């Protein structure tokens, strides 16, 4: 991106964003205010119309109430029909009522009824004598109050009916009623007034059933024909319902619900309008005021068009101004760039300096000074490069000699050696590895090592033994090849091998591969086999006399002996038992050393009973220490699993026996056995002398005993844990431990269900 663009773009964007935000904020703020004013004006207009209607209704009621106070009417009601002057009084009242109708143009008819609701005087003489007891005015007005109703008269059309009671002014006795029928035109004049409503605005009235009772601007002949089912009408009457439920609140309603509000919605013919409503409680009417949204919002739309036009004009002016200013500023920089390009091509004598006093001019002159310094240093660098090239050639010769020396050592080493990278591809293959495997170096290099060197287990030749190689790469630590490993040669021959794998780590600490050294261990295996056979034969030969010694010592202990004789017999029996146990352990070791697993005979066994039996045996043999052996609270009373009960009992006994041997007085041995998803988890926990950290990795080796154990307990062969591990692994399980020196040790053994 050019400097000119870098200058123009951020400034233009920043000013554009600020100007746009300011303009649109101003527009939206003004538009919102204008919208609020439109809404407020419409609401004020509606309330004004509603107030005029309510005032007109009060005037209608007051007119009828004033007629009810005319003395002639009261006198007529007090006169009996049998009185001779009665007809004259009726005539006088009729004349008076006719004058009222003639003087007030919107009054159509006035009628007088006695207390039995019989018409006795009227501007319509033909109706005198009619019974109005069934009229809604009386059935729905038992208290005889002044009341006004909207009436659709078949002859008069839409009119208002008003009744007012007549009382005896002396006794306050109810005498009858005065009823008047007035024209609805005064109310139509109010709602049809378009002042403040523009071209499309209108106000109209609807009754409680939402039918129009005044003319509509959009349709004709709608009185009590057109039902207004709009948001405006619904909210008006929902507000009315709220009045009845909450009369105790201010002005008889809750302001938060059904409130007189201004909203945008479709009107009775589907046009989008701005509308509001005012409820007229006296009649149960709603006054609806509405104006087309397009007309009401035209000024806001014009304002938006003006705002957008203004922004576009400002953008054009702003961009042109910033562009020419940026071009003026960047012109010296452009010249500097052209000069540096010439210098970059090798012309170090070219001058880019200008006479300008600003920062760009200073930079151009500094650039000339830098070019001069580069020219000087270039000659020095050329000389140094020449000297270093000579040194590199000298070192390369030495590296080549060292590499040849290393390759000579690897090629001449007596063991097989090969190197693999992190992808397990062979990168080095010495002659011994080639001779042992039957593959040439050319065949091996670049191949996955398992395609060339197939290491398998002696006990299961179908199972590949390459864990020691993968672990060396994964952990970064040397790994030993497991015992009894065979190498399958190219021709299918099996060779016993042994040795190890070590990771290759570069200067950055990254593991880049692994070097594997292996040797032919056939002779070693033969020697081990002969040794094991000797141990097995010797052990079997020892068992026969040992059995006799144990039997004879037990017979002697049953005889009556003096204390000295009994002590000697007991020592003989104890020694015979220890030697028998040692022989059994040696026999077990001989089986393990030959690569054979124990003869496992599995049956469904309650392992908890085995634990109880093992605890009793250990307590009997170590009763002199009196260290409590307890089962954990979580251990169940019964846990069935398919195992060899004799072998597992031996393993549990060895673990508990070790815990007692190396625990301090006052401690406790806790045995736990729990079931998990894979099988059972057995643990033996003590608070004894623990295992030193530096010797923990050797704890399962045969004949190994930790230094602190040797000092604490002189007896022991170092075979117990070796045999326990073999038993657990023969069952497909695993064993491990956690220990802190002088704090205690916990051994864990996991036996699978399958």
User: Is residue 196 situated within a structural domain?
Assistant: yes
Determine which of 226-240, 359-373, 726-740 has the lowest per-residue pLDDT on average: 359-373
The domain that holds 194 is classified in CATH as: 3.30.450.20
What token pair was written down for 530? 């002969």
User: pLDDT by residue (tens digit) across 41-92?
Assistant: 888 888 898 999 899 889 988 998 899 888 888 888 888 777 888 888 889 9
Same domain, yes or no: 161 and 51: yes
Per-residue pLDDT, averaged over 29-48, amounts to 83
pLDDT of residue 485: 83
Does residue 471 surpass a pLDDT of 50? yes
- Domain boundaries, position 141: 7-179
Compare 611 and 17 and report the one with higher pLDDT: 611
Residue 399 pLDDT level (bands cut at 50, 70, 90): low
Same domain, yes or no: 20 and 131: yes
Query: What percentage of residues in the chain have a pLDDT greater than 90?
Result: 10
The answer to whether 489 and 438 have CB atoms below 8 angstroms apart is yes
Per-residue pLDDT, averaged over 201-208, amounts to 89
User: Is residue 547 situated within a structural domain?
Assistant: no
pLDDT of residue 186: 84
The residue among 672, 662, 648 whose CA lies nearest residue 699 is: 662
Same domain, yes or no: 175 and 209: no
Residue 608 pLDDT level (bands cut at 50, 70, 90): very high
User: Is residue 542 situated within a structural domain?
Assistant: no
Domain boundary among 299, 316, 343: 299
CA–CA distance, 291 with 293 (Å, rounded to integer): 6
User: Is residue 169 situated within a structural domain?
Assistant: yes
CA–CA distance, 312 with 114 (Å, rounded to integer): 81
User: pLDDT by residue (tens digit) across 533-564?
Assistant: 555 555 555 556 766 676 667 777 777 778 77
Compare 155 and 47 and report the one with higher pLDDT: 47
547 contact partners, CB below 8 Å, separation of at least 6: 580
CA–CA distance, 90 with 94 (Å, rounded to integer): 6
Same domain, yes or no: 156 and 198: no
User: Is residue 733 situated within a structural domain?
Assistant: yes
What token pair was written down for 240? 């009315």
Residue 526 pLDDT level (bands cut at 50, 70, 90): low
Task: Tell if the pTM clears 0.75, that is, is over it.
Answer: no
The answer to whether 232 and 263 have CB atoms below 8 angstroms apart is yes
User: Is residue 82 situated within a structural domain?
Assistant: yes
How many domains does the structure of the chain reveal?
4
Compare 599 and 268 and report the one with higher pLDDT: 268
Same domain, yes or no: 33 and 130: yes
User: pLDDT by residue (tens digit) across 410-454?
Assistant: 666 778 888 999 888 998 888 888 888 889 888 888 898 888 888
Q: Which residues of 560-572 are buried (b: 16+ CB within 10 A; e: fewer)?
A: eeeeeeeeebeeb
The answer to whether 481 and 514 have CB atoms below 8 angstroms apart is no
What is residue 285's three-state secondary structure?
A: strand
The residue among 490, 516, 517 whose CA lies nearest residue 436 is: 490
Residue 736 pLDDT level (bands cut at 50, 70, 90): very high
What is residue 610's three-state secondary structure?
A: helix
The answer to whether 188 and 215 have CB atoms below 8 angstroms apart is yes
Instruction: Please provide the distance, in angstroms rounded to a whole number, between the alpha carbons at the two ends of the chain.
Output: 69
Q: Phi, psi (5° rounding) for residue 461?
A: -70, -10
Compare 606 and 27 and report the one with higher pLDDT: 606
DSSP string, 441-462: HHHHTTSBGGGT-EEEESS-TT
pLDDT of residue 374: 74
CA–CA distance, 718 with 720 (Å, rounded to integer): 6
Domain boundary among 504, 520, 536: 520
Residue 670 pLDDT level (bands cut at 50, 70, 90): very high
Query: In the predicted model, what is the mean pLDDT of the chain?
Result: 80
Q: Exposed, middle or buried, 318 (CB in 10 Å: 0-12/13-18/19+)?
A: middle
Does residue 185 surpass a pLDDT of 80? yes
Determine which of 399-408, 494-503, 671-680 has the lowest per-residue pLDDT on average: 399-408
Compare 399 and 79 and report the one with higher pLDDT: 79
Per-residue pLDDT, averaged over 154-181, amounts to 86
Rounded to 5°, angle at Cα 540 from 534 and 544 = 145
What token pair was written down for 324? 């020419």
Q: Which residue has the tokens 């643990």?
A: 683
Same domain, yes or no: 110 and 252: no
pLDDT of residue 679: 87
What is the β-pairing status of strands 202-206 and 734-740?
unpaired
Highest mean pLDDT among 15-29, 301-315, 333-347, 642-656: 642-656
User: Is residue 459 situated within a structural domain?
Assistant: yes
Compare 469 and 354 and report the one with higher pLDDT: 469
Determine which of 206-215, 216-225, 441-450, 568-577 has the lowest per-residue pLDDT on average: 568-577
Does residue 356 surpass a pLDDT of 60? yes
Per-residue pLDDT, averaged over 237-260, amounts to 46
What token pair was written down for 473? 């790469």
Does residue 257 surpass a pLDDT of 50? no
User: Is residue 266 situated within a structural domain?
Assistant: yes
Same domain, yes or no: 228 and 258: yes
Q: Phi, psi (5° rounding) for residue 292?
A: -55, 135
| Entry field: residues in the chain | 754
pLDDT of residue 483: 66
The answer to whether 736 and 746 have CB atoms below 8 angstroms apart is no
Compare 392 and 400 and report the one with higher pLDDT: 392
Let me know how many helices (H) and strands (E) the chain has, helices first. Answer: 18, 23
Same domain, yes or no: 607 and 744: yes
Per-residue pLDDT, averaged over 30-42, amounts to 80
Domain boundary among 179, 201, 233: 179
What is residue 439's three-state secondary structure?
A: coil
Same domain, yes or no: 168 and 205: no
The domain that holds 630 is classified in CATH as: 3.30.565.10
What token pair was written down for 596? 């054979």
State how far the alpha carbon of 259 is from the alpha carbons of 246, 267, 278, 649, 696, in Å: 13, 19, 9, 86, 83
Does residue 110 surpass a pLDDT of 80? yes
163 contact partners, CB below 8 Å, separation of at least 6: 64, 137, 141, 146, 147, 177, 178, 179, 180
CA–CA distance, 203 with 195 (Å, rounded to integer): 10
Same domain, yes or no: 217 and 293: yes
DSSP string, 397-408: HHHHHHHHHHHH
81 DSSP 8-state letter = T
Long-range contacts made by residues 499-505, C-beta under 8 angstroms, separation at least 24? 499/415, 500/468, 501/468, 501/469, 501/471, 501/472, 502/472, 502/478, 503/472, 503/473, 503/475, 503/476, 503/477, 503/478, 504/419, 505/476
Same domain, yes or no: 124 and 70: yes
The runs of H, that is alpha helices, within 279-358 are 293-296, 298-344
Same domain, yes or no: 134 and 45: yes
The runs of H, that is alpha helices, within 69-85 are 71-78
């Amino acid at each position: 991106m050019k400097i000119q663009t870098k200058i123009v773009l951020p400034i233009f964007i920043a000013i554009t964003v600020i100007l746009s935000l300011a303009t649109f904020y101003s527009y939206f703020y003004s538009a919102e205010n204008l919208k609020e004013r439109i809404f407020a004006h419409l609401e004020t207009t509606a309330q004004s119309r509603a107030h005029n209607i309510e005032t007109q209704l009060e005037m209608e009621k007051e007119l009828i109430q004033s007629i009810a106070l005319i003395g002639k009417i009261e006198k007529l009601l007090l006169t009996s029909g049998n009185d001779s002057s009665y007809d004259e009084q009726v005539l006088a009242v009729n004349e008076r009522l006719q004058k009222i109708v003639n003087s007030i143009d919107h009054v159509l008819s006035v009628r007088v009824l006695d207390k039995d609701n019989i018409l006795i005087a009227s501007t319509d003489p033909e109706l005198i004598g009619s019974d109005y007891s069934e009229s809604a005015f009386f059935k729905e007005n038992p208290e005889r109050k002044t009341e006004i109703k909207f009436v659709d008269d078949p002859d008069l059309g839409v009119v208002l009916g008003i009744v007012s009671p007549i009382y005896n002014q002396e006794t306050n006795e109810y005498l009858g009623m005065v009823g008047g029928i007035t024209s609805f035109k005064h109310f139509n004049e109010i709602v049809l007034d378009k002042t403040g409503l523009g071209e499309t605005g209108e106000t109209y009235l609807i009754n409680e059933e939402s039918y129009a009772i005044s003319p509509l601007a959009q349709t004709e002949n709608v009185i009590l024909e057109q039902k207004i089912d709009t948001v405006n009408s619904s909210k008006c009457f929902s507000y009315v319902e709220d009045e009845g439920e909450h009369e105790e609140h201010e002005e008889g309603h809750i302001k938060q619900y059904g409130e007189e509000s201004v909203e945008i919605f479709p009107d009775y013919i589907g046009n989008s309008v701005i509308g509001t409503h005012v409820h007229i409680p006296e009649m149960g009417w709603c006054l609806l005021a509405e104006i087309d949204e397009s007309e009401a919002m035209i000024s806001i739309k014009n304002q938006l068009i003006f705002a957008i036009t203004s922004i576009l004009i400002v953008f054009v002016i702003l961009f042109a101004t910033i562009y020419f200013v940026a071009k003026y500023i960047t012109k010296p920089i452009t010249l500097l760039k052209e000069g540096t390009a010439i210098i970059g091509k090798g012309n170090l004598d070219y001058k880019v300096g200008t006479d300008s006093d600003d920062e760009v001019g200073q930079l151009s002159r500094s650039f000339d000074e830098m070019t001069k310094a580069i020219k000087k240093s270039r000659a020095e660098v050329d000389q140094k490069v020449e000297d270093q090239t000579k040194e590199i050639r000298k070192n390369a010769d030495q590296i080549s000699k060292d590499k040849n020396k290393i390759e000579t050592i690897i090629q001449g080493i007596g063991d097989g050696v090969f190197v693999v990278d992190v992808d397990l591809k062979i990168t080095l293959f010495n002659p011994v590895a080639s001779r042992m495997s039957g593959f040439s170096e050319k065949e091996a290099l670049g191949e996955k090592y398992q395609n060339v060197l197939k290491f398998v287990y002696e006990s299961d030749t179908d199972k590949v033994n390459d864990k020691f190689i993968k672990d060396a790469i994964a952990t970064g630590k040397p790994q030993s090849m497991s015992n009894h490993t065979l190498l399958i040669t190219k021709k299918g021959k099996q060779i016993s091998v042994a040795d190890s794998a070590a990771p290759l780590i570069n200067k950055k600490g990254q593991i880049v591969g692994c070097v594997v050294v292996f040797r032919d261990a056939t002779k070693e295996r033969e020697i081990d086999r002969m040794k094991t056979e000797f141990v097995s034969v010797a052990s079997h030969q020892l068992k026969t006399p040992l059995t006799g010694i144990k039997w004879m010592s037990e017979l002697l202990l049953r005889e009556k002996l003096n204390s000295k004789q009994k002590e000697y017999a007991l020592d003989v029996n104890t020694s015979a038992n220890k030697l028998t146990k040692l022989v059994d352990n040696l026999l077990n070791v001989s089986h393990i050393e030959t690569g054979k697993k124990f003869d496992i005979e599995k049956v469904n066994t309650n392992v908890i009973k085995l634990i109880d039996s093992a605890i009793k045996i250990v307590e009997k043999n170590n009763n002199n220490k009196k260290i409590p052996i307890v089962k954990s609270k979580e251990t169940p009373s019964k846990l069935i699993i398919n195992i060899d009960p004799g072998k597992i009992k031996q393993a549990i006994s060895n673990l508990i026996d070790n815990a007692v041997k190396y625990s301090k007085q006052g401690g406790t041995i806790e045995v736990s056995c729990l079931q998990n998803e894979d099988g059972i988890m057995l643990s033996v926990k003590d608070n004894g002398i623990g295992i030193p950290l530096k010797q923990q990795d050797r704890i399962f080796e045969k004949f190994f005993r930790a230094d602190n154990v040797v000092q604490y307990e002189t007896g022991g062969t170092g075979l117990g844990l070796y045999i326990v591990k073999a038993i657990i692994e023969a069952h497909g399980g695993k064993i491990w431990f956690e220990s802190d020196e002088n704090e205690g040790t916990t051994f864990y053994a996991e036996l699978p269900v399958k």
